[in-house]
Structure 1
Amino acid sequence: MGDFIKTDNYELYNYDCIEMMDLLITEGRQVDLTVTSPPYDNLRTYDNCLVWNFDVFKKVADRLYNITKDGGVVVWVVGDKTKNGSESGTSFKQALYFKEIGFNLHDTMIYEKKNPFGTAGKGHKRYRQSFEYMFVLSKGKVKTFNPIKEPCKHSGEYAAFTTRKNRQSDGLEFDAIRNRSMNVGKSKYLKNIWEYDVGYNRTTKDKFAFKHPAIFPEKLAQDHILSWSNEGDTVFDCFMGANTTGKIALLNNRKFIGIEKVKYYFEISKQRIS
Protein backbone atom coordinates (compact mmCIF):
# COMPACT_ATOMS: atom_id res chain seq x y z
CA MET A 1 0.00 0.00 0.00
CA GLY A 2 1.11 3.56 -0.58
CA ASP A 3 0.26 7.18 0.03
CA PHE A 4 -3.18 8.76 -0.25
CA ILE A 5 -4.97 12.10 -0.02
CA LYS A 6 -8.63 12.37 0.93
CA THR A 7 -10.65 15.59 0.90
CA ASP A 8 -14.34 16.43 0.61
CA ASN A 9 -14.05 16.76 -3.17
CA TYR A 10 -11.37 14.29 -4.22
CA GLU A 11 -9.47 11.17 -3.20
CA LEU A 12 -6.09 10.17 -4.64
CA TYR A 13 -4.55 6.76 -3.92
CA ASN A 14 -1.00 5.61 -4.63
CA TYR A 15 -2.07 1.94 -4.61
CA ASP A 16 -2.42 -0.99 -6.97
CA CYS A 17 -5.72 -0.33 -8.77
CA ILE A 18 -7.10 -3.86 -8.30
CA GLU A 19 -6.39 -3.87 -4.56
CA MET A 20 -7.77 -0.34 -4.14
CA MET A 21 -10.94 -1.08 -6.08
CA ASP A 22 -11.50 -4.14 -3.90
CA LEU A 23 -11.30 -1.89 -0.83
CA LEU A 24 -13.73 0.63 -2.31
CA ILE A 25 -16.17 -2.11 -3.29
CA THR A 26 -15.94 -3.64 0.19
CA GLU A 27 -16.89 -0.23 1.59
CA GLY A 28 -19.90 -0.10 -0.74
CA ARG A 29 -18.47 2.76 -2.79
CA GLN A 30 -19.72 3.31 -6.33
CA VAL A 31 -19.11 5.93 -9.02
CA ASP A 32 -21.22 7.58 -11.72
CA LEU A 33 -18.59 7.80 -14.45
CA THR A 34 -15.15 6.42 -15.22
CA VAL A 35 -12.92 8.14 -17.78
CA THR A 36 -9.65 6.26 -18.12
CA SER A 37 -6.96 5.06 -20.49
CA PRO A 38 -5.23 1.75 -19.69
CA PRO A 39 -1.71 0.72 -20.72
CA TYR A 40 -1.68 0.07 -24.46
CA ASP A 41 -0.36 -3.40 -25.33
CA ASN A 42 2.87 -2.78 -23.40
CA LEU A 43 3.74 0.06 -25.77
CA ARG A 44 5.10 1.95 -22.77
CA THR A 45 6.58 0.78 -19.51
CA TYR A 46 5.81 2.72 -16.37
CA ASP A 47 8.69 2.71 -13.92
CA ASN A 48 9.08 -1.05 -14.45
CA CYS A 49 6.45 -1.74 -11.79
CA LEU A 50 3.32 -2.51 -13.81
CA VAL A 51 2.30 -5.87 -15.22
CA TRP A 52 -0.32 -5.56 -17.94
CA ASN A 53 -1.85 -8.38 -19.92
CA PHE A 54 -5.32 -9.65 -20.74
CA ASP A 55 -5.69 -11.55 -17.46
CA VAL A 56 -4.92 -8.39 -15.50
CA PHE A 57 -7.31 -6.44 -17.73
CA LYS A 58 -10.14 -8.86 -16.90
CA LYS A 59 -9.61 -8.31 -13.17
CA VAL A 60 -9.81 -4.55 -13.71
CA ALA A 61 -12.91 -4.85 -15.91
CA ASP A 62 -14.71 -7.07 -13.39
CA ARG A 63 -14.12 -4.52 -10.65
CA LEU A 64 -15.17 -1.62 -12.85
CA TYR A 65 -18.52 -3.33 -13.31
CA ASN A 66 -18.97 -3.66 -9.54
CA ILE A 67 -17.90 -0.11 -8.76
CA THR A 68 -20.14 1.47 -11.42
CA LYS A 69 -23.64 2.54 -10.40
CA ASP A 70 -26.65 1.27 -12.32
CA GLY A 71 -26.99 3.61 -15.29
CA GLY A 72 -23.35 4.66 -14.95
CA VAL A 73 -20.81 4.86 -17.76
CA VAL A 74 -17.21 3.80 -18.35
CA VAL A 75 -15.25 5.60 -21.07
CA TRP A 76 -12.35 3.32 -22.04
CA VAL A 77 -9.79 5.11 -24.27
CA VAL A 78 -7.54 2.51 -25.88
CA GLY A 79 -5.38 1.70 -28.89
CA ASP A 80 -3.54 -1.30 -30.36
CA LYS A 81 0.09 -1.95 -31.18
CA THR A 82 1.21 -3.13 -34.59
CA LYS A 83 3.66 -6.01 -34.75
CA ASN A 84 4.89 -7.90 -37.81
CA GLY A 85 2.48 -5.94 -39.99
CA SER A 86 -0.64 -6.77 -37.96
CA GLU A 87 -2.57 -4.81 -35.35
CA SER A 88 -3.10 -6.74 -32.12
CA GLY A 89 -6.88 -6.29 -31.91
CA THR A 90 -6.60 -6.11 -28.12
CA SER A 91 -9.00 -3.16 -27.97
CA PHE A 92 -11.76 -5.24 -29.58
CA LYS A 93 -11.06 -8.19 -27.27
CA GLN A 94 -11.44 -5.85 -24.32
CA ALA A 95 -14.71 -4.40 -25.64
CA LEU A 96 -16.14 -7.89 -26.12
CA TYR A 97 -15.11 -8.91 -22.60
CA PHE A 98 -16.84 -5.84 -21.17
CA LYS A 99 -20.01 -7.01 -22.94
CA GLU A 100 -19.51 -10.56 -21.65
CA ILE A 101 -19.53 -9.42 -18.00
CA GLY A 102 -22.67 -7.30 -18.37
CA PHE A 103 -21.74 -3.91 -19.75
CA ASN A 104 -23.58 -2.52 -22.77
CA LEU A 105 -21.33 -1.29 -25.57
CA HIS A 106 -23.27 1.95 -25.72
CA ASP A 107 -21.09 3.59 -28.39
CA THR A 108 -17.82 2.99 -30.20
CA MET A 109 -16.35 6.46 -30.54
CA ILE A 110 -13.17 7.64 -32.22
CA TYR A 111 -10.55 10.01 -30.77
CA GLU A 112 -8.90 11.49 -33.84
CA LYS A 113 -5.64 13.37 -33.50
CA LYS A 114 -5.51 16.45 -35.71
CA ASN A 115 -1.72 16.42 -35.68
CA PRO A 116 -0.59 12.80 -35.20
CA PHE A 117 3.08 12.25 -34.49
CA GLY A 118 5.30 10.38 -36.94
CA THR A 119 4.76 9.23 -40.49
CA ALA A 120 4.43 5.86 -42.13
CA GLY A 121 7.74 6.52 -43.87
CA LYS A 122 9.67 4.61 -46.48
CA GLY A 123 9.23 0.87 -46.32
CA HIS A 124 5.88 0.99 -44.50
CA LYS A 125 2.82 -0.22 -46.38
CA ARG A 126 0.16 1.43 -44.26
CA TYR A 127 -1.27 4.90 -43.67
CA ARG A 128 -0.39 7.05 -40.70
CA GLN A 129 -2.11 6.06 -37.48
CA SER A 130 -4.18 9.00 -36.28
CA PHE A 131 -6.91 7.70 -33.96
CA GLU A 132 -7.74 5.69 -30.87
CA TYR A 133 -10.97 4.07 -29.74
CA MET A 134 -13.21 5.48 -27.02
CA PHE A 135 -15.53 2.67 -25.96
CA VAL A 136 -18.52 4.07 -24.07
CA LEU A 137 -19.78 1.28 -21.83
CA SER A 138 -22.93 1.49 -19.74
CA LYS A 139 -24.22 -0.56 -16.81
CA GLY A 140 -27.79 -0.97 -17.96
CA LYS A 141 -29.60 1.94 -19.58
CA VAL A 142 -27.58 5.16 -19.54
CA LYS A 143 -28.91 7.40 -16.79
CA THR A 144 -27.29 10.71 -17.76
CA PHE A 145 -26.72 12.13 -21.21
CA ASN A 146 -26.09 15.83 -21.73
CA PRO A 147 -25.47 15.98 -25.48
CA ILE A 148 -22.87 18.38 -26.80
CA LYS A 149 -24.27 20.18 -29.81
CA GLU A 150 -22.94 22.17 -32.72
CA PRO A 151 -24.70 24.78 -34.90
CA CYS A 152 -26.48 23.51 -38.00
CA LYS A 153 -24.95 24.97 -41.12
CA HIS A 154 -28.36 25.23 -42.83
CA SER A 155 -30.39 26.31 -39.81
CA GLY A 156 -33.81 27.67 -40.78
CA GLU A 157 -33.77 26.11 -44.23
CA TYR A 158 -36.04 23.33 -45.46
CA ALA A 159 -34.49 19.95 -46.20
CA ALA A 160 -36.13 17.18 -48.21
CA PHE A 161 -35.68 13.54 -47.29
CA THR A 162 -37.22 10.15 -48.07
CA THR A 163 -38.43 7.44 -45.69
CA ARG A 164 -39.32 3.85 -46.48
CA LYS A 165 -41.45 1.46 -44.47
CA ASN A 166 -41.22 -2.26 -45.08
CA ARG A 167 -43.78 -3.78 -42.72
CA GLN A 168 -47.37 -2.96 -41.80
CA SER A 169 -48.83 -3.29 -38.32
CA ASP A 170 -50.45 -6.62 -39.32
CA GLY A 171 -47.05 -8.00 -40.34
CA LEU A 172 -47.57 -7.87 -44.11
CA GLU A 173 -44.59 -6.46 -45.94
CA PHE A 174 -44.88 -3.69 -48.47
CA ASP A 175 -42.78 -0.96 -49.98
CA ALA A 176 -43.90 2.60 -49.49
CA ILE A 177 -41.76 5.63 -50.23
CA ARG A 178 -42.79 8.85 -48.59
CA ASN A 179 -41.25 12.22 -49.42
CA ARG A 180 -41.06 14.72 -46.59
CA SER A 181 -39.51 18.06 -45.76
CA MET A 182 -38.49 19.64 -42.49
CA ASN A 183 -37.25 22.90 -41.11
CA VAL A 184 -33.57 22.45 -40.13
CA GLY A 185 -33.04 23.28 -36.47
CA LYS A 186 -30.43 25.55 -34.92
CA SER A 187 -28.19 22.80 -33.55
CA LYS A 188 -27.44 19.09 -33.80
CA TYR A 189 -25.61 16.45 -31.78
CA LEU A 190 -21.91 16.06 -32.41
CA LYS A 191 -20.75 13.08 -34.44
CA ASN A 192 -19.10 10.26 -32.50
CA ILE A 193 -15.70 11.04 -34.01
CA TRP A 194 -14.05 13.73 -31.87
CA GLU A 195 -10.95 15.60 -33.04
CA TYR A 196 -8.31 17.03 -30.73
CA ASP A 197 -4.90 18.61 -31.03
CA VAL A 198 -2.13 16.70 -29.31
CA GLY A 199 1.35 17.70 -28.19
CA TYR A 200 3.00 20.45 -26.22
CA ASN A 201 0.81 23.53 -25.57
CA ARG A 202 -2.01 21.92 -27.54
CA THR A 203 -3.36 19.36 -25.08
CA THR A 204 -2.86 21.59 -22.03
CA LYS A 205 -0.62 24.40 -20.83
CA ASP A 206 -0.25 22.66 -17.48
CA LYS A 207 3.50 22.22 -16.94
CA PHE A 208 3.04 19.19 -14.68
CA ALA A 209 1.12 17.20 -17.29
CA PHE A 210 4.06 16.90 -19.66
CA LYS A 211 6.04 14.89 -17.14
CA HIS A 212 3.84 11.96 -18.16
CA PRO A 213 4.46 10.33 -21.58
CA ALA A 214 0.86 9.52 -22.50
CA ILE A 215 -1.57 12.23 -21.43
CA PHE A 216 -4.79 12.68 -23.33
CA PRO A 217 -6.30 16.10 -24.12
CA GLU A 218 -8.07 17.94 -21.33
CA LYS A 219 -10.93 18.71 -23.70
CA LEU A 220 -11.43 14.99 -24.35
CA ALA A 221 -11.90 14.44 -20.62
CA GLN A 222 -14.16 17.48 -20.36
CA ASP A 223 -16.39 16.46 -23.26
CA HIS A 224 -17.01 13.03 -21.75
CA ILE A 225 -17.45 14.33 -18.20
CA LEU A 226 -20.02 16.89 -19.35
CA SER A 227 -21.79 14.30 -21.53
CA TRP A 228 -22.18 11.43 -19.09
CA SER A 229 -22.35 13.05 -15.62
CA ASN A 230 -23.94 15.90 -13.71
CA GLU A 231 -22.57 18.36 -11.16
CA GLY A 232 -22.01 16.62 -7.83
CA ASP A 233 -21.51 13.19 -9.43
CA THR A 234 -18.40 11.13 -8.71
CA VAL A 235 -15.91 10.60 -11.53
CA PHE A 236 -13.31 7.82 -11.35
CA ASP A 237 -9.97 6.99 -12.99
CA CYS A 238 -8.25 3.73 -12.05
CA PHE A 239 -5.18 4.57 -14.19
CA MET A 240 -4.85 8.16 -13.03
CA GLY A 241 -1.43 8.97 -14.53
CA ALA A 242 -0.99 12.73 -14.67
CA ASN A 243 -4.59 13.21 -13.48
CA THR A 244 -6.23 14.86 -16.46
CA THR A 245 -9.58 13.29 -15.54
CA GLY A 246 -9.39 14.48 -11.93
CA LYS A 247 -8.41 18.03 -12.79
CA ILE A 248 -11.24 18.43 -15.30
CA ALA A 249 -13.77 16.73 -12.99
CA LEU A 250 -13.08 19.27 -10.24
CA LEU A 251 -13.16 22.22 -12.63
CA ASN A 252 -16.65 21.07 -13.67
CA ASN A 253 -17.97 20.65 -10.11
CA ARG A 254 -17.75 16.86 -9.93
CA LYS A 255 -16.12 14.79 -7.22
CA PHE A 256 -13.18 12.56 -8.09
CA ILE A 257 -11.53 9.30 -7.06
CA GLY A 258 -8.21 8.39 -8.68
CA ILE A 259 -5.73 5.53 -8.35
CA GLU A 260 -2.10 5.55 -9.56
CA LYS A 261 0.45 2.87 -8.72
CA VAL A 262 3.61 4.66 -9.88
CA LYS A 263 4.81 6.98 -7.12
CA TYR A 264 6.37 9.50 -9.52
CA TYR A 265 3.10 10.00 -11.42
CA PHE A 266 1.13 10.08 -8.17
CA GLU A 267 3.24 13.06 -7.08
CA ILE A 268 2.50 14.76 -10.41
CA SER A 269 -1.21 14.08 -9.84
CA LYS A 270 -1.08 15.74 -6.42
CA GLN A 271 0.62 18.84 -7.83
CA ARG A 272 -1.75 19.06 -10.74
CA ILE A 273 -5.00 18.72 -8.80
CA SER A 274 -3.93 21.24 -6.15
Structure 2
Amino acid sequence: MLELDKIHCGDNCDLLGQLPRECIDLVVTSPPYDDLRTYGGHSWDFFGVAWQLKRVLKPGGVIVWVVADATKDGSETGSSMEQALHFKRLGLNLHDTMIYEKSKAHVFDPRQHRYKHTAEFMFVVSKGKPRVFNPIMDLPVVNSGVVHKVRQRLPDGSIRSDRTVTLGDWQARGAVWVYEGGVGHSTKDAIAFEHPAIFPDALASDHIATWSNPGDLVLDPFSGSGTTAKAAKELGRRFLGLEINPEYCAIAERRIAQETLELEAV
Protein backbone atom coordinates (compact mmCIF):
# COMPACT_ATOMS: atom_id res chain seq x y z
CA MET A 1 0.00 0.00 0.00
CA LEU A 2 1.31 3.44 -0.89
CA GLU A 3 1.85 5.94 1.89
CA LEU A 4 -1.26 8.10 2.33
CA ASP A 5 -1.44 11.90 2.26
CA LYS A 6 1.45 12.10 -0.17
CA ILE A 7 2.24 12.79 -3.84
CA HIS A 8 3.92 9.73 -5.39
CA CYS A 9 6.11 10.30 -8.45
CA GLY A 10 6.05 7.58 -11.09
CA ASP A 11 3.96 5.85 -13.76
CA ASN A 12 0.37 5.83 -12.56
CA CYS A 13 -0.38 2.28 -13.78
CA ASP A 14 2.64 0.97 -11.87
CA LEU A 15 1.68 2.90 -8.75
CA LEU A 16 -1.99 1.91 -8.96
CA GLY A 17 -0.84 -1.71 -9.11
CA GLN A 18 0.64 -1.27 -5.62
CA LEU A 19 -2.79 -0.46 -4.15
CA PRO A 20 -5.04 -3.20 -2.77
CA ARG A 21 -8.42 -3.89 -4.32
CA GLU A 22 -11.36 -1.67 -3.37
CA CYS A 23 -9.46 0.82 -1.21
CA ILE A 24 -10.42 4.15 -2.85
CA ASP A 25 -13.62 6.07 -2.05
CA LEU A 26 -13.36 8.79 -4.70
CA VAL A 27 -11.26 9.71 -7.74
CA VAL A 28 -11.22 13.33 -8.94
CA THR A 29 -8.94 13.86 -11.92
CA SER A 30 -8.41 15.57 -15.25
CA PRO A 31 -6.17 13.42 -17.47
CA PRO A 32 -4.24 14.72 -20.49
CA TYR A 33 -6.51 14.59 -23.51
CA ASP A 34 -5.99 14.77 -27.28
CA ASP A 35 -2.39 16.04 -27.07
CA LEU A 36 -3.52 19.59 -26.31
CA ARG A 37 -0.56 19.90 -23.92
CA THR A 38 2.83 18.13 -24.04
CA TYR A 39 3.20 17.70 -20.23
CA GLY A 40 6.94 17.18 -20.56
CA GLY A 41 6.55 14.55 -23.28
CA HIS A 42 5.15 11.84 -21.00
CA SER A 43 2.56 9.42 -22.36
CA TRP A 44 -0.08 7.37 -20.53
CA ASP A 45 -2.18 4.24 -21.00
CA PHE A 46 -5.91 5.04 -20.78
CA PHE A 47 -7.03 1.42 -20.87
CA GLY A 48 -4.56 0.41 -18.18
CA VAL A 49 -5.55 3.33 -15.94
CA ALA A 50 -9.26 2.68 -16.43
CA TRP A 51 -8.87 -1.00 -15.50
CA GLN A 52 -6.81 -0.17 -12.44
CA LEU A 53 -9.28 2.48 -11.28
CA LYS A 54 -12.11 -0.03 -11.45
CA ARG A 55 -9.99 -2.46 -9.44
CA VAL A 56 -9.11 -0.05 -6.62
CA LEU A 57 -12.52 1.68 -6.39
CA LYS A 58 -14.72 0.62 -3.48
CA PRO A 59 -18.31 -0.51 -4.11
CA GLY A 60 -20.31 2.73 -4.17
CA GLY A 61 -17.17 4.67 -5.04
CA VAL A 62 -17.12 7.42 -7.67
CA ILE A 63 -14.73 8.58 -10.40
CA VAL A 64 -15.00 12.21 -11.58
CA TRP A 65 -13.32 12.30 -15.02
CA VAL A 66 -12.85 15.88 -16.33
CA VAL A 67 -12.07 15.89 -20.07
CA ALA A 68 -12.73 17.62 -23.39
CA ASP A 69 -12.13 17.02 -27.10
CA ALA A 70 -9.77 18.59 -29.57
CA THR A 71 -10.84 19.50 -33.10
CA LYS A 72 -8.65 17.85 -35.74
CA ASP A 73 -9.11 18.12 -39.50
CA GLY A 74 -12.43 19.88 -38.99
CA SER A 75 -13.92 17.24 -36.67
CA GLU A 76 -14.06 16.80 -32.91
CA THR A 77 -12.23 13.66 -31.83
CA GLY A 78 -15.01 12.30 -29.61
CA SER A 79 -12.39 10.70 -27.36
CA SER A 80 -14.13 12.01 -24.23
CA MET A 81 -17.30 10.05 -24.91
CA GLU A 82 -15.30 7.01 -26.00
CA GLN A 83 -13.60 7.02 -22.60
CA ALA A 84 -16.91 7.35 -20.77
CA LEU A 85 -18.36 4.43 -22.74
CA HIS A 86 -15.27 2.32 -22.01
CA PHE A 87 -15.86 2.76 -18.28
CA LYS A 88 -19.35 1.36 -18.92
CA ARG A 89 -17.90 -1.60 -20.79
CA LEU A 90 -15.78 -2.31 -17.73
CA GLY A 91 -18.99 -2.69 -15.73
CA LEU A 92 -19.09 0.74 -14.10
CA ASN A 93 -22.09 3.08 -14.25
CA LEU A 94 -22.07 6.36 -16.15
CA HIS A 95 -23.92 7.95 -13.23
CA ASP A 96 -24.03 11.50 -14.60
CA THR A 97 -22.68 13.61 -17.44
CA MET A 98 -21.93 17.00 -15.94
CA ILE A 99 -20.48 20.15 -17.50
CA TYR A 100 -17.73 22.48 -16.30
CA GLU A 101 -18.45 25.86 -17.87
CA LYS A 102 -15.74 28.51 -17.94
CA SER A 103 -17.31 31.86 -17.18
CA LYS A 104 -14.62 34.13 -18.62
CA ALA A 105 -15.34 35.29 -22.17
CA HIS A 106 -13.27 33.78 -24.97
CA VAL A 107 -12.34 35.48 -28.21
CA PHE A 108 -14.59 34.32 -31.03
CA ASP A 109 -12.85 33.55 -34.32
CA PRO A 110 -15.38 33.35 -37.22
CA ARG A 111 -12.78 31.63 -39.39
CA GLN A 112 -13.26 28.48 -37.30
CA HIS A 113 -16.93 28.21 -38.41
CA ARG A 114 -17.98 27.05 -34.94
CA TYR A 115 -18.73 28.53 -31.54
CA LYS A 116 -15.80 28.78 -29.17
CA HIS A 117 -15.47 25.87 -26.77
CA THR A 118 -15.98 27.16 -23.23
CA ALA A 119 -16.83 23.93 -21.40
CA GLU A 120 -15.53 20.48 -20.51
CA PHE A 121 -17.23 17.22 -19.57
CA MET A 122 -17.23 16.03 -15.98
CA PHE A 123 -18.19 12.36 -16.27
CA VAL A 124 -19.34 10.93 -12.95
CA VAL A 125 -18.67 7.18 -13.05
CA SER A 126 -19.64 4.90 -10.16
CA LYS A 127 -19.23 1.31 -9.02
CA GLY A 128 -22.91 0.63 -8.44
CA LYS A 129 -25.01 3.28 -6.72
CA PRO A 130 -22.85 6.05 -5.22
CA ARG A 131 -22.41 5.47 -1.50
CA VAL A 132 -22.27 9.21 -0.77
CA PHE A 133 -24.23 12.12 -2.21
CA ASN A 134 -24.07 15.46 -0.41
CA PRO A 135 -25.78 17.84 -2.84
CA ILE A 136 -24.51 21.40 -2.82
CA MET A 137 -27.50 23.53 -1.83
CA ASP A 138 -26.42 26.97 -2.97
CA LEU A 139 -29.35 28.25 -5.05
CA PRO A 140 -31.67 30.55 -3.03
CA VAL A 141 -35.40 29.83 -3.29
CA VAL A 142 -37.56 32.90 -3.88
CA ASN A 143 -40.81 31.35 -2.59
CA SER A 144 -39.36 29.66 0.49
CA GLY A 145 -41.99 27.94 2.63
CA VAL A 146 -44.57 27.78 -0.16
CA VAL A 147 -46.29 24.43 -0.79
CA HIS A 148 -45.65 23.57 -4.44
CA LYS A 149 -47.67 21.04 -6.45
CA VAL A 150 -45.40 18.60 -8.30
CA ARG A 151 -46.46 17.83 -11.87
CA GLN A 152 -44.85 14.87 -13.62
CA ARG A 153 -45.36 13.65 -17.19
CA LEU A 154 -45.80 9.85 -17.15
CA PRO A 155 -44.65 7.46 -19.93
CA ASP A 156 -48.20 7.20 -21.30
CA GLY A 157 -48.38 10.99 -21.71
CA SER A 158 -50.69 11.61 -18.76
CA ILE A 159 -49.76 14.03 -15.96
CA ARG A 160 -49.44 13.07 -12.31
CA SER A 161 -50.18 15.97 -9.96
CA ASP A 162 -51.14 14.39 -6.63
CA ARG A 163 -47.89 15.22 -4.83
CA THR A 164 -46.75 18.38 -3.09
CA VAL A 165 -43.48 19.66 -1.71
CA THR A 166 -42.73 22.53 0.66
CA LEU A 167 -39.94 24.69 -0.72
CA GLY A 168 -36.97 25.28 1.58
CA ASP A 169 -34.61 28.24 1.72
CA TRP A 170 -32.11 26.66 -0.69
CA GLN A 171 -32.13 24.14 -3.49
CA ALA A 172 -29.39 22.08 -5.14
CA ARG A 173 -27.55 23.39 -8.17
CA GLY A 174 -27.89 21.65 -11.54
CA ALA A 175 -25.39 19.52 -13.45
CA VAL A 176 -23.70 22.52 -15.13
CA TRP A 177 -21.13 24.06 -12.79
CA VAL A 178 -19.69 27.46 -13.66
CA TYR A 179 -16.23 28.57 -12.55
CA GLU A 180 -13.81 31.28 -13.50
CA GLY A 181 -10.76 29.85 -15.21
CA GLY A 182 -7.36 31.09 -16.20
CA VAL A 183 -4.51 32.85 -14.47
CA GLY A 184 -5.61 34.59 -11.27
CA HIS A 185 -9.06 32.97 -11.27
CA SER A 186 -8.73 29.16 -10.98
CA THR A 187 -6.81 29.53 -7.73
CA LYS A 188 -5.21 32.16 -5.54
CA ASP A 189 -2.16 29.95 -5.11
CA ALA A 190 0.57 31.34 -7.39
CA ILE A 191 2.57 28.11 -7.17
CA ALA A 192 -0.14 26.27 -9.13
CA PHE A 193 0.42 28.41 -12.21
CA GLU A 194 3.83 26.81 -12.69
CA HIS A 195 1.77 23.93 -14.15
CA PRO A 196 0.50 24.44 -17.74
CA ALA A 197 -3.09 23.22 -17.22
CA ILE A 198 -4.87 23.52 -13.88
CA PHE A 199 -8.55 23.25 -13.08
CA PRO A 200 -10.27 25.43 -10.46
CA ASP A 201 -9.74 24.71 -6.78
CA ALA A 202 -13.50 25.06 -6.28
CA LEU A 203 -14.25 22.38 -8.88
CA ALA A 204 -12.18 19.81 -6.98
CA SER A 205 -13.57 20.93 -3.62
CA ASP A 206 -17.19 20.77 -4.77
CA HIS A 207 -16.86 17.24 -6.14
CA ILE A 208 -15.00 16.04 -3.06
CA ALA A 209 -17.68 17.53 -0.80
CA THR A 210 -20.43 15.95 -2.92
CA TRP A 211 -19.17 12.39 -3.40
CA SER A 212 -17.22 11.71 -0.18
CA ASN A 213 -17.31 12.17 3.58
CA PRO A 214 -14.58 13.29 6.00
CA GLY A 215 -12.01 10.55 6.48
CA ASP A 216 -12.60 9.00 3.04
CA LEU A 217 -9.65 8.34 0.72
CA VAL A 218 -9.47 10.53 -2.42
CA LEU A 219 -7.19 9.68 -5.35
CA ASP A 220 -5.91 11.71 -8.29
CA PRO A 221 -3.90 9.50 -10.71
CA PHE A 222 -2.93 12.61 -12.76
CA SER A 223 -2.07 14.84 -9.83
CA GLY A 224 -0.45 17.67 -11.80
CA SER A 225 -0.23 20.73 -9.56
CA GLY A 226 -1.93 18.87 -6.68
CA THR A 227 -5.31 20.62 -6.79
CA THR A 228 -7.30 17.50 -5.81
CA ALA A 229 -4.88 16.56 -3.05
CA LYS A 230 -4.92 20.07 -1.62
CA ALA A 231 -8.73 20.23 -1.66
CA ALA A 232 -9.04 16.79 -0.07
CA LYS A 233 -6.73 17.79 2.75
CA GLU A 234 -8.63 21.02 3.39
CA LEU A 235 -11.91 19.08 3.60
CA GLY A 236 -10.61 16.49 6.06
CA ARG A 237 -10.16 13.61 3.60
CA ARG A 238 -7.13 11.36 3.17
CA PHE A 239 -5.49 11.65 -0.24
CA LEU A 240 -3.16 10.01 -2.74
CA GLY A 241 -1.64 11.88 -5.68
CA LEU A 242 0.12 10.08 -8.54
CA GLU A 243 2.20 12.03 -11.05
CA ILE A 244 4.86 10.94 -13.56
CA ASN A 245 6.50 14.35 -14.11
CA PRO A 246 9.02 15.13 -11.32
CA GLU A 247 8.61 18.88 -11.86
CA TYR A 248 4.85 18.65 -11.30
CA CYS A 249 5.38 16.44 -8.24
CA ALA A 250 7.54 19.18 -6.76
CA ILE A 251 4.86 21.80 -7.49
CA ALA A 252 2.18 19.70 -5.79
CA GLU A 253 4.35 18.98 -2.77
CA ARG A 254 5.11 22.69 -2.36
CA ARG A 255 1.38 23.54 -2.50
CA ILE A 256 0.50 20.95 0.13
CA ALA A 257 3.42 21.93 2.39
CA GLN A 258 2.48 25.59 2.03
CA GLU A 259 -1.05 24.81 3.17
CA THR A 260 0.31 22.95 6.19
CA LEU A 261 2.40 25.94 7.22
CA GLU A 262 -0.60 28.27 6.84
CA LEU A 263 -2.74 26.03 9.07
CA GLU A 264 0.00 25.76 11.70
CA ALA A 265 0.39 29.55 11.71
CA VAL A 266 -3.30 29.96 12.48
Alignment counterpart, residue 263 of structure 1, candidates 231, 246, 255: 246
User: Does the C-alpha gap of structure 1 residues 178 and 251 become closer, same or farther in structure 2, counting only changes over 3 Å?
Assistant: closer
1:132 to 120, 123, 130: 120
Q: Percent identity?
A: 44
Match of 1:143 in 2: 131
2:7 is equivalent to residue 15 of structure 1: no
Q: 1:32 to 1:176 in 2, by over 3 A?
A: closer
- 2:29–2:223 CA contact under 8 A, matched in 1: yes
Residue 144 (structure 2) aligned to one of 149, 152, 155 = 155
Moved over 6 A (4+): none
Match among 67, 73, 78 for residue 67 of structure 2: 78
Between structures 1 and 2, the one with greater helix share: 2
Residue identity matched to 1:249: A
- 2:36 corresponds, among 43, 68, 71, to 43
Specify the code of the residue in structure 2 equivalent to 1:51: S
1:31 aligns with 2:24: yes
CA distance in 1, matches of 2:93, 2:57: 12
AA aligned to 1:113 is K
- C-alpha distance in 1 between matches for 2:82 and 2:185: 31
- Measured after TM superposition, the shift of residue 166 of structure 1 is 5.7
What is the CA–CA distance in structure 2 between the aligned matches of 1:245 and 1:205, rounded to whole Å? 15
- CA change 1:180–1:210 in 2 (3 A) is same
Q: Deviations over 1:213-235 (max 9, x none)?
A: 11000000000000000001100
Residue 92 of structure 2 aligns with an amino acid whose one-letter code is: F
1:246 equivalent among 216, 220, 229: 229
- TM-aligned CA deviation for residue 270 of structure 1: 0.8
| 2:45 is the counterpart of 1:62 | no
1:156, 1:255 → 2: CA distance? 39
- Greater mean deviation of Cα atoms: 180-189 or 210-219: 180-189
In structure 2, what is the Cα distance between the partners aligned to 1:216 and 1:89? 21
Using a 3 Å threshold, how does the CA distance of structure 1 residues 163 and 206 change in structure 2: closer, same or farther?
closer
Structure 1 partner of 2:83: 94
Q: Report how far residue 178 of structure 1 moved.
A: 4.1
Scaled by the length of structure 1, the TM-score of the pair is 0.87
Looking at CA atoms only, which structure, 1 or 2, has the larger radius of gyration? 1
Which residue identity lines up with residue 34 of structure 2 in the other structure?
A: D
The separation in 1 between residues aligned to 2:204 and 2:67, in whole angstroms, is: 14
C-alpha change, 1:99 and 1:166, in structure 2 (3 Å) is: closer
Structure 1 residues 67 and 154, CA gap change in structure 2 (3 angstroms): same
Match of 1:220 in 2: 203
Q: SS at the partner of 1:23?
A: coil
Q: CA deviation at 1:184?
A: 2.5
Which one of 93, 106, 111 corresponds to residue 123 of structure 1?
111
Measure the CA separation in 1 of the matches of 2:159 and 2:141: 30
Contact residue 166 and residue 176 of structure 1 kept, 8 A = no
Distance 1:144 1:161 in 2: 26
Preserved contact between residue 149 and residue 161 of structure 2 (Cα < 8 Å): no
Letter in 2 for 1:23: Q
C-alpha contact 1:163 1:179 (8 A) present in aligned 2: no
Q: 1:133 to 1:164 in 2, by over 3 A?
A: closer
Contact 1:33 1:229 in 2 (8 A): yes
Q: Deviations over 1:2-41 (max 9, x none)?
A: xxx94xx50221110011101123xx56110000000011
Unaligned runs of 5+ in 1: 168-173
Question: Which of 211, 216, 237 matches 2:194?
Answer: 211
In the superposition, relative to structure 1, how do residues 199 and 232 fare at CA in structure 2: closer, same or farther (>3 Å)?
same
Give 5+ residue unaligned stretches, structure 2: 258-266
